[in-house]
Structure 1
Amino acid sequence: METYTAMRHFADVWGLVGMTLFFVGAIIYSFRPGSRELSDDAARIPFKDED
């Protein structure tokens, strides 16, 4: 097997695994207990200075 083919295969497999783990981690982080209050506060930032 050529070096390029081996590295391409490695990047395809482990890159997909890494991106999947990152996505699952982001979902878990955003739906964890107590995150609603922080999300609501962040959503109100643009309107903080309005009267």
Structure 2
Amino acid sequence: MQDAYELAAKIIQFHCKTNILHSVFTLKSRIRVVVNGLIKKHANLMANKLQ
């Protein structure tokens, strides 16, 4: 019975780690989208100033 509890604990730990990794990659992707949007907006503003 102890083996079953240890296996369950390992599965839960693995699940938590994969959830954390997924959250990190999702957040990283969202940050990249926001930063790219800001860069494009800044580039457009600078291009308009030069005209």
**Short-chain TM bin:** 0.5 to 0.7
Structure 1 residues without counterparts, runs of 5 or longer: 38-51
Give, in whole Å, the separation in 2 of the partners of 1:3 and 1:23: 30
Per the alignment, residue 33 of structure 2 pairs with: 20
The percentage of counterpart residues that share the same residue type is 6
Q: List 4+ stretches of structure 1 deviating above 3 A.
A: none
Q: CA RMSD in A?
A: 1.8
User: Cα deviation per residue 1:16-36 (whole Å; 9 max; x = unaligned)?
Assistant: 0000100010000011132x2
How many residues are paired up?
A: 36
Which residues of structure 2 form unaligned runs of 5+? 1-11
